[in-house]
Each structure stands twice: as structure tokens, then as C-alpha cells.
Structure 1
């Protein structure tokens, strides 16, 4: 399945330029879309048509094959304007990476060509019913000479806008009828396949238009050539998890920058000075200047740490097999560090926006609260308390972080 023909992007410079142009466009109405939960179908189609969603397609399949650091910067730029739009293609890029690492050439060719045409992939990964997020009940099993998929997923970000769903599932075949090895698989199936129901029931306080609701699968027919063995990417030192986490860091850093820019603009144009400051303009209050300087340091540090982590993740793509384990471990620690810094910056700056802008900024009609709500919601992904643990263990015990896909 594919959409209208998308533009082709050939270089990092072109990708970043296109991202900046789109961000400028997406910024208009971002607060209103978030407040009113107006789903950005038009904007996501524009994102697809721009060619940005195909920038990681390998060169041998006709793509630009741009490195993780460039993808992260594209996502960060988009997040400064609308964090919802920036998060929607997160799993799209992650599962393109899974295809690159783990799929067979015919699978790669089919799906990469679709993406080059503008097609979008969304995740169907997490479930509500397990004891932990790692427990997967959705299953594929033999049925009438083929395979049948059944289950229910939640937090399916981007599913409302997707052409293909990447469904995390486990094999239920105790008699060995399928001939497939035990384990987890990702099934790449059309979003409009019979037996699939995509439910728009996401009601989070932030990231409200990401389409992160429920999908149910009832007797969905699946072919063997639609399955990719997940362990080939996650169970190997491939940098798969570091790449996925790097994009989360980019979203948080983008929110922080967007909030800081909105606060500065408000202070320059709308804020009144505190009477004790003895100045005519709010931005001449020395205490306000001091606070903005502190916040600017927080944001700049988050962006610099993101850039540094991106460089380390890039190395996982080009490192030799002999050094793959060392490169993947270094990438995970670098990204974990960046996640801690960006998490802090996104939450602190989006909250301080009101502190430095004054009472007027709290008007509901302005929608400035969307930065904080988006930061608070998105940073719930993968708690930073466990990032500290892995960083500390690596430092004290020289213990490599696990390859479970979320560090």
C-alpha cells in the first residue's frame, strides 16, 4: 500500500531544510490542535509528501540512508513546533530500522518501496493486561493452513494515520505446525486488513493528537512473509534500542526549545514588568533576565547532549561486527545520559514558561499549557530512574546495558 508519490530527499542538509520549513508551517495552530484535539491528518500527509519519512531507507533500495543523528535532529525541529506531530512517526522510523536489521530482502524491498512512495508505519506493541510492559499476550497461531493473529494493543501511537501496522506478537504453536522457531515476531500488516479495529480512545492530558489509542485484532490472516523475527534486532548488539530512545530524547529537547521560545516571545510582547523592578519593560527586569539565562542553559545542554549521543549512535551503523557490542553499549549509555538531561529540561522549562511570562500567560485561550502537558506526558516513556541505574552500573561495574530495546 502506498500514498501519492512523495518527494525524494538526498542529503542531510535537504532533510533539515525541509524539516525547518514544515515546522514553521506546523507551529501555526499547534496549540489549538492540541487543545481541541483536532487530529492533524492534513499535516501528516504533508509530512509524508515531503519525503522526510523515507530518509532512513537504505541506499540500495533508493533511499537517502541518512544516519540516526540526522533523523533525531529532524524530529527535534518538528517537536519545537508541534510535539504531537514529532512523535507520530517515531515508531515509523524505529520499525524501518527493524526492517533494516532483521527482515529478509524481499520484505525489505516491498516495505521500503512503499515508504519511498509516502506510506506510513505505526506501532501496535504495548498491552494493558500484562504484569509489565514486556508481557505480550497477542499471538499468532496456525489456522486453516495459514496463520491467525489475535489480541489487543494500546498506546498505538500513529495508528490513526498509518498504512501499515507493526504488530508485536508471540508465536503460539506448541505442536510446531508452522515450522517457525519460538519467540516474538513483528507482523507487518495493512492497517485496513479484515479483523483489525483501530479505536480512537487515547485520552492523555498531553500528546493528545498522536493517535495513541487501542487496536484489536480478531482472526486477522497473516502470511509467513509478513513476519520479522524481533530478536535479530533486539537480541543483538545492533544499537536498535539506542536509536529508538534517541528519537524520544529529540522530542523532549524539542519541547524544551519550543517552550523557551514561546516564553521569550511572550515576555517580549505581552508581559508586564513587576513594579519593584523599576523598569518599563518586563525583559529589562534583571531577575527575569537571570531566570531566562538559567533556562537557556538547560535547553542548550539538552540539545548538546542530544547531538553528542547522536554521534555515538551513528557509530553503531558503521562499526564492524567485532566491535558491535562495545559500540552498542556506548550508544545506550550516551542516549540514557541525554534522556535524563532532556527529560529535566522539557519538564522544567515548560513549567517555568508561566513563571517568567506572568499571570497573563495562564489564559486557557493561549494554549501555552500544551508544552507542559506534552512534556509531562511524553517523558513518562521509559523512566529516567532506570537510566541512572544503567549509567551507574556501567561506570562502577563495567556492566553493559541490556539489549531489550528500550535503552
Structure 2
């Protein structure tokens, strides 16, 4: 284990709480073994359920003490789950989007951070599937089958616009990458960091590309400085790129994948919906035993137990229905996206984008409702630090800020009323 990782794990809870331990993190080691080969979608779901049951009891400690899940990520990767979307033509299982969503939701119900970490890994796999050359697909898909993981370095902060200022430019020695990135979920745990950059030199205007950068390349610095109130152990820190030498075969077209109808955006949003759904389902499951065994009914209910309080039952019923509805919409959107992947057209991709936006709006509200009601119905004692129930609300509230749900409602309405196709990008 590197000195940087060791110091992160040995920091005291007080140091973690103050985020005074911010440190550069050394690259992870090469995979210790080739991952398990998952034979079916049913097996993938079963493995996800086993891992969730294994990790749920320690989720509170990881969140409270900000313990990065190094061992859990290795186990997760070794399980074979990080390779389930690799296309069959390249040796993978190529699961449906519904199976992918269920895997993510299952893990997120146990630990919101662990459910979130591989999202950008699967996003990068879809970028490769859509825009990579055959040689790039063969190389990178094999790396994933061998156990290597992708992180991300897409977003940038410090500006009021969404323009990317990271530059890929020609130099005497070849392509050179420079930039500063934030919200880099998973980069700490990654072997490769896909970087969104503007490539200069191929024409009069720059073009957007995805550069798959080796984590241990000279000039790459990953810092654990994520200070959000939720999703605390996702490794969503910063990545600095200083004169990083880039091989041409690591550069994958990106803008062209949105100039044409592709499913990169819908697949990304399916995973975000699954994270919110999973956290909400975890909150509901935490609510049930607490209400049965710990909560008190309100005096006006005239009953002896909170589990018989009629207004508590009504509120729980609403949570249950909302979560079931969100799961149903997520399944529907995944099936529509499967169809769009098989036959991408302007119409099929638009239908997928809108269906996924519908799922996101409901997973957003259902996840927040479940986390809120866990505290409300549990009563004041549910706020005691020993329970750690606040982590569900902090996690889902933090993650639902990924992109604004208010714009999804707008896109859905504009499509339904005016037949306006929503914009094609990863944020919808």
C-alpha cells in the first residue's frame, strides 16, 4: 500500500471531518488477479446482492470516518461486475441496461458511495462502444476484462459556463494534455482516467475528445479533496494534468458522438437514476425495523405502537409506491435504451432520452422522500448519531444535484407537447 493511501486510512475521524488530510494519492497497483467471469445476467444480480449484504453493515463507519473503500473496490472489481457491459463481440457479457441499473441500485442501497463509484467506469465503456475504433475497443475492453478500472476527469469548476478548458495540443514530442478537473468520481481507484478535453491542431477549431490517460502517467496528479456533505467516500476529488504525454491511440472522438444520435447520454442517466433509487430503497429498508422497534406513535393516534399509527402507515405507503413507480419507470427506460442501442436513430435516441429523463425525475423525488421520511417517521431519536440515518439524506441530496431535475421536466413537456427532441449530451 502506498504511503499516501496509508496516511489517508490512518487519519483520525476529526482530521477526516475537517478534511484537513487532503493529500495526493498514489496510483493503484495493477489488478491482483483476473476477475471472475460472470456467466449470466442472473448471476450478476446474485453477486451484487451478495456484495451488498457484505458491505451494508460497515457503510456507516466508512461514511462517519471517511474510510476510503480500497478493499471493497478490489473485491467489487474481482467479482467481475465491472466488466458486465463489455460487448459480447469483445469477450464480455453485454448485459441489458436494466441489469446494469439493478446492479447499481442494489449496491447503492447498501452504500451510496459504492453504488456511485463505477458509474463513470461504465460511462467510459459506452463512450468506447459508440466512438472507439476497433483497435481501441479491443485494447480497452481487454484491459477491463483483465481487471483494470476507469475513473473520470470530465468536469471543471471555477467558471460560470460549461466550456472545457483542458487542452490537448501538438508539441515536438507529440500530443500533450494540460488541465484541471474536479468531481472526478472514481479517479482515485482507477487504472485509467478518461479525460474530456478540447483537441487543438486538427483544424481551425478545437474538437471535443475523450483521452484515456494512464493513471500512473507522468504529470497526472490525483488529490483526495472532495468535501461534499454526502457521497463522502466516492473519491470525487480533483485531477491535475501537467504536460502529460498522450499516445494517439488513447484519443477517442467525443463530440461526434453527440452530433449524431447515440445512447451515451441515456445510459449515463440510467445509472444516475439507479443510484438515487438505490439510496431511497436503502432508506426505506432502514425505516421499517426502526419504526417497528424504536419509534413512538403520536399521542392522537390512540395506539400503542408506531407500526399501528395510521398516519405513519399512510406516509410509508406513499414512500413504497413512489419507489416502486420509480423502479418501474427505470426498467421501462432501460428497455427503450436497449432498443436505441440496437438501432440508434434520431427518433429512437430521443425516445430513450425522454424515457430516462422521466425515470430520473421520479427516482429523484422518491429517493429524497424516502430519506426524509426515515427521519420524520422515526422521530427525534432517529437523528442520533449512533444510527447514522442522516447519511441516506446527505447521500441522495448530494447526488441528486448532479444535474437539475427542473430541466428534465422542461424537456419532457417540450417533447410531449411540441415534438421537440431533447438535446444530446450526457447531462440529460
TM over 0.5: yes
Rounded Cα–Cα distance in structure 1 between residues aligned with 2:167 and 2:99: 35
Match of 2:380 among 353, 359, 365: 359
Whole-Å separation in 1 of the counterparts to 2:424 and 2:297: 52
| 2:270 aligned to which of 233, 246, 263 | 246
Q: How many residues align?
A: 399
For 2:89 and 2:397, how far apart are their aligned partners in 1? 40
Structure-2 residue corresponding to 1:101: 130
- Following superposition, the deviation at residue 104 of structure 1 comes to 1.0
Shift of 1:365: 1.9
* Cα shift readout 1:365-389 (whole Å, capped 9, x = no counterpart): 2111000000110000110111011
Map of 2:79 onto structure 1: 50
1:403 deviates by 1.0
* 1:299-310 superposed matches below 5 A: 299-310=323-334
Q: CA deviation at 1:51?
A: 0.3
Q: Deviations over 1:129-148 (max 9, x none)?
A: 3332x310111111123111
Asked if 1:343 corresponds to 2:361, the answer is no
Corresponding residue of 1:223: 247
8 Å CA contact 2:200–2:207 kept in 1: the answer is no
- Correspondence for 1:136: 164
How far is the alpha carbon of 1:42 from its aligned partner?
0.7
Query: Quick one: distance in 1 between partners of 2:31 and 2:301?
Result: 59
Distance 1:315 1:181 in 2: 34
Cα deviation for residue 2 of structure 1 reads 4.3
Aligned partners of 2:307 and 2:424: how far apart in 1?
48
Any idea what SS the aligned residue of 1:38 has? coil
Query: 1:375 maps to which residue?
Result: 396
Q: Which residue, 122, 139, 142 being the options, matches 1:110? A: 139
Aligned counterpart for 1:15 among listed residues 44, 49, 64: 44
Could you tell which deviates more after superposition, 348-357 or 375-384?
A: 348-357
Q: Counterpart of 2:287?
A: 263
1:346 and 1:78 mapped to 2: Cα distance? 15
Superposed, 1:26-105 pairs within 5 Å as 26-105=55-134
Deviation by residue 1:325-382 (Cα, 9 ceiling, x = unmatched): 1110000000111111111111121011111111211101211100000011000011
Aligned mate of 1:164, from 188, 192, 209? 192
Structure 1 contact 3–119 (Cα < 8 Å) conserved: no
Q: Distance in 2 between matches of 1:62 and 1:180?
A: 39
Gaps of 5+ in 1: none
Residues 257-266 or 226-235, more deviating: 226-235
Unaligned runs of 5+ in 2: 1-29
Q: Could you tell me which residue of structure 1 aligns to residue 302 of structure 2? A: 278
TM-score, normalised via structure 2 length: 0.90
Instruction: Specify the SS of the correspondent of 1:221.
Output: strand
Helix, strand or coil at the partner of 1:123 = coil
SS in structure 2 of the partner of residue 153 of structure 1: strand
Match of 1:397 in 2: 418
> Which range is displaced more, 233-242 or 332-341?
233-242
Alpha carbons 2:155, 2:183 under 8 Å: kept: yes
Q: Of residues 160, 169, 175 in structure 2, which corresponds to 1:147? A: 175
Out of 205, 217, 235, the position equivalent to 1:211 is 235
TM-score (norm 1): 0.95
Residues 42-64 of structure 1: CA deviation (Å, up to 9, x unaligned): 11111100000000111111100
- Paired with 1:392 and 1:358, the residues of 2 have a C-alpha distance of 38
